[in-house]
Structure 1
Amino acid sequence: MFDFSQLHPSLAQQLKTLGYHTSTPVQAEAIPAVLEGGDVMAGAQTGTGKTAAFALPLLHKLLTESVEQPSSPRVMVVVPTRELAQQVLDKIIAYAALTPLRCVALYGGVSIKPQVARLASGVDVIVGTPGRLLDHLYNKTFNPDQIQTLVMDEADRMLDMGFMPDIKKLLTRLPPQRQTLFFSATYPKQVMNLAYKLLSSPTHINIDAPNSAAHTVEQRVHPVDRRKKRELLSFLIGSRNLQQVLVFTKTRQSAEALVKELKLDGLVAEAIHGERTQAARNRALEGFKNGDVRVLVATDVAARGIDIPQLACVFNYELPHQLEDYVHRIGRTGRAGQNGLAISLVSLEEEGMLQAIETLLDSRISQEWISGYEPDLTAEVEHRQKRGGRGGDKRRLKKQLAKKAGFKRR
């Protein structure tokens, strides 16, 4: 356990005001390691306090070190999405409220001019997405030579989103002699390769096993006929009186279509995905946070940065393309030590993905069959035959489907 009173007095006082009394496991291990100045490679789920784990010691160092050029940024935090950039910035501003330190978020989808003006006034910490950070570097709106620490937050997501070329360009413009902090909830091979290139003799911090789900999240699967998914979703929201529900889909088309159907069911719903403007995304997210929007339907790209501490439940309306995204999705609930529930509505055609997710997690996810919504095996047989799938004896095919590991009653 790390004692926050060891930090700069301005930080320690503000943390008391914010109600930070006990460090989380990732904070207890990461803060001393960051303060020592070495590289850090940390594996921790979202909602475990990892932003404070790197922000607090870095703010402490900024406050206690002498500076020759106070107008140049000394810390750069790179994140995959605009929402996460704003979330991280908001937390850093809250921690540094009693200090003279200045911070700015740099991301696309909004005018670059206010960001340029903010940089010109002098900042200590910049938080940004790879593309917009490169825009500023190309335009020479800030000097990267004074960057002392680079933080890669949610590195796995950045690689999934195809940011590797931008990241490589970004790294060539930063001082080679720097501290690098690498945070990722999952560590597939590509992420490990990047970490090995960036880090020098890092301190390894593993709060959870790689690719594991947060222990505070109860996971549940409802096998469902694919044609009744939306009906079951509305039924569960209404019958359980769920007031703040985050729902994940695979594509923006699915998100928009689902929102239209939910509105017809009388639910106040909004979609958030990469094709919506930043202003529209901000309005939808703000409405969700203040309770005006009951159901927020999101794609994986847009969901990064959604930080609702008391979010009790998330739904996987469709299982994700990437296995690791399942871990990130359910990490939106059960945050900050709170209990959460993650419900996946899984049709027969998704059974292979469900089994792959269980293999990734090295555990079985409990199932609950709801009367009236069970998968229709006969309809599935006919569907597969019509699309040119396996033919032959319907009884045999139906029996084989029923025996699929992901859907036999447990």
Structure 2
Amino acid sequence: MTQPGFHDLISDVQLRKAIDALGYEAPTPVQLAAIPAASQGKNLIVSSKTGSGKTAAFLLPAIQAMLARASVNPESTRMLILTPTRELARQIVKNAEQLLKFTSFKVGMVCGGEELKYQKAMLRKNPEVIVGTPGRLAEHVSHKSTEFSGLEFLVLDEADRMLDMGLSEDVLKIANTCRNERQTLLFSATMEQKGLRHLIKQVILGEAEEIYIDDKPNAIVQQMLIADDFKHKEKLLLALLQKADFQKAIIFTNTKVRATQLDNFLRYNKFRVGALHGDITQDQRKVTLDHFRQGRTSILVATDVAARGLDIPGVELVVNIDMAYSGDEYLHRVGRTGRADAEGRAVSMVDAKEWNLTKSIERYLGVTFEVIAMPGLKGKYQGPDKIKSSGKSVGTKKKTAVKDKKAEAKPKVKVRERDKKNIGNRRVPKALTEAPAVDGFAPPKKKISKQLDDGGE
């Protein structure tokens, strides 16, 4: 049986023209499942891996429906898309503008990093589609500069990530100002996030169809380099980048300070690199990403602000110079490579402090990272010592040996200074070391302290 094409899913002539101009070929599994269901007016809860085409899966049916009918309220936004990061918002805006190229519809973006007054001026022009981050949009709701009373589509993209970032209150604040008769589409790479079901119940009004795409895992080789400390990691990183075959690589760190440090370090070593973190301006972020996409830089150093939503083709290598704080965060970091069934490679650098975290991530994902080494850079730390047949966790030591050793210790006998001079010259009288009995009663011998009996200090 022949798989349906985009022209089988989309009937609008203007949209078909845009699809052909973009060179879209066969729809992905999530698009095949979600577009017909959304076109029927259903609320959707969709789970599919990163890079699977979720953006087109919600844009195409919503735009087609809006083109086919008149607006409920000409002064209201018709489609609102909430997303966790500015990078993802910018990417969705770009895709929406491409699909709306042959229509009169306009797209607006509302994110942090820009002045409120300019965004308010844009909102007064009433674009049909608004893409934004919850934090900044919630500010506009407070200022009463938004109009969602006629909203037809509310889309939550990467809903679990918004929950991770503590944006659920802002999402609910925005959703409560939207038209109740709206159609809600919720998309996410994972659905196991704690609290996500509660958010779904509050945002989606009425029944919803759930779509789970059982994608085959991305073809990513997952490896681990064991390091002594961060200086050792820098040496390992240089050796890895010099040896690896890649056109584009992303290096993830956990802090803005370290991202800046690595950016300078790699520039000093003649690499073409850019940095992406929370302290740079909106214009700088745009320039950095454009240079990376265009190949003017080959390495992007980023904090987790870039872990979600970046759809940059050709990223062959991801390096975690700091291990991610959770399995989900790790998954979305390495999801920047191996996209659209391409092969990818992820290398995590692990020191003693990160060992237990790494092992917990392996258990969570059900994988085992391949341990590799860089020639001439083997460190002193090679993982915790193992206890033979102890049945205990790796890295723990038996306490019984210490207890027994202390239990065998004998109490010290106190010798007075005036008696030391006689030692060696004559025998110390028995009276000095043993008290005599008085009236047939002998005093008890000195007890060993309870601390010593218990193996304490």
Would you say same fold, with TM above 0.5?
yes
| 1:47 is aligned to 2:47 | no
Once structures 1 and 2 are overlaid, which stretch shifts more, 362-371 or 165-174?
362-371
Structure number with bigger Rg: 2
Match of 1:4 in 2: 6
Residue 223 (1) aligns with residue 226 (2)? yes
**CA shift for structure 1 position 71:** 4.5
State the TM-score, normalizing by the size of structure 2.
0.78
Does 1:135 pair with 2:124?
A: no
In the comparison of the two structures, how many residue pairs are matched? 386
Q: CA deviation at 1:80?
A: 0.7
CA contact 1:225–1:373 (8 Å) conserved in 2: no
Q: Displacement of 1:300 after TM fit? A: 0.6
2:211 counterpart of 1:205: yes
Pair 1:193-2:195 in alignment: no
Q: 1:306 to 1:288 in 2, by over 3 A?
A: same
Change (3 A) 1:271 1:16: same
Counterpart of 1:285, as a letter, is L
CA contact (8 A) 1:2 1:27 kept: no
Identity across the alignment (%): 35
Deviates more, 1:198-207 or 1:33-42: 198-207
* TM-score, structure 1 normalization: 0.87
Aligned residues of 1:26 and 1:48 also touching (Cα < 8 A)? yes
Q: What one-letter code is carried by the residue in structure 2 that aligns with 1:194?
A: L
Contact 1:248/1:299 (<8 A) preserved: yes
Within 2, Cα distance between the matches of 1:223 and 1:2?
Answer: 48
- Residue 9 of structure 1 aligns with an amino acid whose one-letter code is V
Give, in angstroms, the shift of residue 42 of structure 1.
1.1
What code does the residue aligned with 1:197 have?
Answer: Q
Of 144, 151, 155 in structure 1, the residue corresponding to residue 155 of structure 2 is: 151
Higher relative contact order (CA 8 A, sep 6+): 1
Deviates more, 1:123-132 or 1:334-343: 334-343
Query: Structure 2: 5+ residue runs without aligned partners?
Result: 396-457
Task: Give, as a single letter, the amino acid of the residue that structure 1 aligns with 2:218.
Answer: H
Q: After TM superposition, give the deviation of residue 215 of structure 1 in Å.
A: 2.1
Is the Cα contact below 8 Å between 1:71 and 1:123 reproduced in 2? no
Q: CA deviation at 1:41?
A: 0.9
CA displacement 1:46-67 (0-9 Å, x = unmatched) = 2110000111111111111222
Match of 2:88 among 65, 70, 84: 84
Q: Aligned-pair distance for 1:399?
A: 12
Could you say what secondary structure the match of 1:377 adopts? coil
Query: 1:77 Cα shift?
Result: 0.4
Q: CA deviation at 1:222?
A: 2.5
Letter of the 1:97 counterpart: K
Q: Which amino acid aligns with 2:69?
A: E
> Which amino acid is 2:70 matched to?
S
Change (3 A) 1:175 1:143: same
Residue 299 in structure 1 maps to residue 303 in structure 2:
yes
How does 1:19-34 map onto structure 2 within 5 Å? 19-34=23-38
CA 397–247 in structure 1, closer or farther in 2 if over 3 Å, else same: same
Q: What is the RMSD computed on CA atoms of the aligned residues? A: 2.5
- Note the 1:1-400 alignment, pairs <5 A: 1-5=3-7, 6-7=9-10, 8-187=12-191, 188-199=193-204, 200-208=206-214, 214-226=217-229, 227-377=231-381
Distance in 2 (alpha carbons) for counterparts of 1:135 and 1:203: 31
- The 8 Å contact of residues 75 and 147 in structure 2, kept in 1 or not, is answered as no
**In structure 2, distance between residues paired with 1:369 and 1:174:** 54
Higher helix share: 1
CA contact (8 A) 2:251 2:299 kept: yes
SS in 2 for 1:329: helix
1:281-338 deviations in whole A, cap 9, x for unaligned?
Answer: 2222222222222321111124434221222221111111132111111111122332
CA distance in 2, matches of 1:373, 1:197: 53
What is the distance in 1 between the residues matched to 2:339 and 2:301?
Answer: 19
CA distance in 1 between partners of 2:341 and 2:23 (Å): 14
